[in-house]
Structure 1
Amino acid sequence: MTLICIDCRYIGPRPSGIGKVQQALVDHLPDMAPDLEFLFLKRTDAPEVLSAASNVREIVVKAAANSPATMWWLPRIAPLSGVDLFHATFNIMPAGLRMPCVTTVHDIMWLANPQWCTGRLPHVLERHFYGHGIGRALAKSAAITTVSDASKHELLAWDSSLQGRVFTTPPGIDESFRHDPKLGQPTVQGWPTGKRIVLTVGQNAPYKNHEGALRAFALAFGGRDDVALVFIQRLNQASETLRDMAQNLGIASQVHFLGPVDDAALVTCYNAAAVLLHPSLCEGYGLPLAEAMACGCPVVASDRSAMPEVLGGAGLLAPAEDAAAMAAALRQVVDDEQVSSAMRQAGLGRAAQLSWRRFADATLDVYRSVLQC
């Protein structure tokens, strides 16, 4: 039986968009393709069992997903003999693979705009690492999947020789993300009560443009006691920079920084928020936009890369670096109940079109086209 290995090492205690992509493959592929066998690579702190399906085997790999061991020596540290197809799910293609490889390239920021990226290592090393891994993926993958048509077009503009090897597999939304007015106020520590909430979700990397979120909020609601800005992000030194910026803008008392929350808590936050503000400079996809819409939360986002595609006309768009335009869009949503209600209904309709099972099915089509089975 044909064996497909999928690298699932983003599935773990810390929520991430790539982890949700991998989880969708784990949840749906085994029963969609009973004629295939699957080998899932997982991290040491992953759940004990990812899938109970009879056509699945799982192996713990001690090396981190984005590590030198993964990049250059994965076939030495993971038993890949007998694998007919390898799916590299997080942008980089490991060296030394003897079987065809499908690589999911979520975006090419490390190639096109490395100044927008951040990582655990010094920036020059991080840039070399990802540039090398993504470059190998583009040069040697049998097929490349990506999560939006915007990312596909960016890939083809970067390297026109990829034509015919790049396929869009749009993500879905977990069923737990739903609109439920009965949920009430979130019990997340630090969530302000009695306010209309502008919510921003995501890691505090330069491409997320959280500084732009502060500027737009200050222009829209600075000095208003009834509106607060809440960041849900991994707190680090960059968060302290944002705190200082909020102080300088005169909105420090209105801005609240929360650490990461699990999906159950995030659902309550989306449901309670007046609007999601997502002013990114670039997104391969942007799962918070889709999840917010599914929870009935209107969205204001920047008008570039994949964000217009994800919103599908259900949100308001503004130039990422135009704080005044972003502020005007925020005021429309927060201060006009008719606009907010219309956006809520449009967002729910758009979210209903997004399915993780369709994502897995599209990915399976790519596998079969490479394997010709």
Structure 2
Amino acid sequence: MPSVLLDMRPLQGPSAGRGIGTYALGLLQGLISQGFDSNLTLLLDADFPEPSLPAGGYKLAGSRRRYHGQLSAYEEAVALGSDLQRIRPDVYHAIDLRLAGRSPCPWVVTLHDLIPWALGGPRMRGERFRFWLGRRLLKRADAVLAVSEATARDAARHAGVDPKRTKVVYEAADPVFEPRSGAADRVRERRALEPGYLLFVGALDARKDPAGLLRAWAVAKEARPQLRLVIAGDPGAQAPRSMPGATTVGPVDKLELADLYSAAGCLVFPSRYEGFGLPCLEAMACGCPVAAYANSSLPEVVDGAGTLVPDGDAGALGRAAAALVADPEHARRAGLERAKLFTWSKAARQTIALYESLLR
């Protein structure tokens, strides 16, 4: 079995609480479940506290560097190449776009999205600048592990990656996301919320279309006037100053988020572009119906288990959400069955097969 250096440094920064952090821990737990942990070395930043990691037979390796300014991306790429020379794994696996300029071993990178280029626009200019070198180096990877078919297409279209070197391996929801007994009572007690509300989970940046979210809610209330909108998660730097009338609960832990999904009438997800769309999968795993726009990766994740409406049509989104709140049972059952197809054990097996293929 190959020795693999898995780069877990994203767990030591802002990405820890985002989709990349969820992916890192989920994949690690999946690899441990497959008995692959003794083949793993986890790369961590020695200047930051060690993150909370599941128990396993893996080793740890440290790196120390802090670069700032216009040349930081180049310096990071060179320093990471030196780390690989020192550690000498059979395979290196990057889980974000901080990539090595040169590698002495085959390397794979998990590509979560190329939204700054796929979606474009002036608000994405900073992200394009931040990740420009990673995008440029992406086509040098021996394999690109894309989290959806939509992301695989973006890799070819926006980064020039050969489709023959791309493999799609879907993410999964954390096992904590399941229908939670007593969720309605806990949500009433903690948040003074009656079950059956509309729920949005995630940052309220421009890509998530907060104006469209409010419009969808207003349309849904035409059919159900008492319907409340609950917003969970870190709103992010681009969030509007206020979301009039909505109940904002801010960041919550996984158990409370599972309760919020379980007690909701519908997840409303007006995102204009996703690399995967984890909130939709988490909601379905909890038995929460999903209404979303039909764009990017969302048809792959939802695939008939929820209601997808034309991209950008907030009115249709609101009508779909109201209909799901009124009659949720089919969507609940379909979502639960759909969510079972996505597991970290399955993702880990596919990832191990990819590692082995690089050494043949």
Structure 2 distance, partners of 1:65, 1:297, is 44
| Counterpart residue type for residue 15 of structure 1 | G
Q: For the structure 1 residues 131 and 371, does the alpha-carbon distance in structure 2 shift closer, same or farther, using more than 3 Å as the test?
A: same
TM-score, length basis structure 2: 0.87
Indicate the residue corresponding to 1:59 in structure 2: 61
State the SS of the aligned residue for 1:314.
coil
Structure 2 distance, partners of 1:60, 1:117, is 35
Number of equivalences: 352
Q: Does 1:346 align with 2:334?
A: yes
Structure 2: stretches of 5+ with no match in the other structure: none
In the TM superposition, residue 100 of structure 1 has moved relative to its aligned partner by: 1.7
Are the counterparts in 2 of residues 280 and 301 from structure 1 also a CA contact under 8 Å?
Answer: yes
What is the CA RMSD across the aligned residues, in angstroms?
2.9
Indicate the residue corresponding to 2:49 in structure 1: 45
Q: For the structure 1 residues 31 and 197, does the alpha-carbon distance in structure 2 shift closer, same or farther, using more than 3 Å as the test?
A: closer
Indicate the residue corresponding to 1:129 in structure 2: 130
Indicate the residue corresponding to 1:355 in structure 2: 343
| Counterpart residue type for residue 303 of structure 2 | G
Q: For the structure 1 residues 320 and 64, does the alpha-carbon distance in structure 2 shift closer, same or farther, using more than 3 Å as the test?
A: farther
Q: How does 1:30-109 map to 2 (within 5 A)?
A: 30=32, 32=34, 34=36, 37-43=39-45, 44-47=48-51, 49-53=53-57, 56-61=58-63, 68=73, 70-76=76-82, 80-109=86-115
User: Where do 4+ consecutive residues of structure 1 move more than 6 Å?
Assistant: 64-67
| Counterpart residue type for residue 199 of structure 1 | L
Structure 2 distance, partners of 1:298, 1:345, is 9
Structure 1 distance, partners of 2:345, 2:288, is 23
Structure 1 distance, partners of 2:98, 2:135, is 5
TM-score, length basis structure 1: 0.84
In the TM superposition, residue 184 of structure 1 has moved relative to its aligned partner by: 2.5
Structure 1: stretches of 5+ with no match in the other structure: 247-251
Q: For the structure 1 residues 92 and 47, does the alpha-carbon distance in structure 2 shift closer, same or farther, using more than 3 Å as the test?
A: closer
Are the counterparts in 2 of residues 105 and 134 from structure 1 also a CA contact under 8 Å?
Answer: no
In the TM superposition, residue 141 of structure 1 has moved relative to its aligned partner by: 0.2
Are the counterparts in 2 of residues 2 and 36 from structure 1 also a CA contact under 8 Å?
Answer: no
| Counterpart residue type for residue 37 of structure 1 | N
Q: Does 1:20 align with 2:22?
A: yes
State the SS of the aligned residue for 1:265.
helix
Structure 2 distance, partners of 1:92, 1:48, is 21
Q: For the structure 1 residues 163 and 266, does the alpha-carbon distance in structure 2 shift closer, same or farther, using more than 3 Å as the test?
A: same
Are the counterparts in 1 of residues 11 and 24 from structure 2 also a CA contact under 8 Å?
Answer: yes
Structure 2 distance, partners of 1:90, 1:348, is 30
Indicate the residue corresponding to 1:303 in structure 2: 294
In the TM superposition, residue 232 of structure 1 has moved relative to its aligned partner by: 1.4
- 1:257-279 Cα shifts (integer Å, max 9, x gaps): 22211111111110011100111
Structure 2 distance, partners of 1:185, 1:128, is 47
For residue 258 of structure 1, the aligned residue among 249, 252, 255 is: 249
Structure 2 distance, partners of 1:322, 1:208, is 13
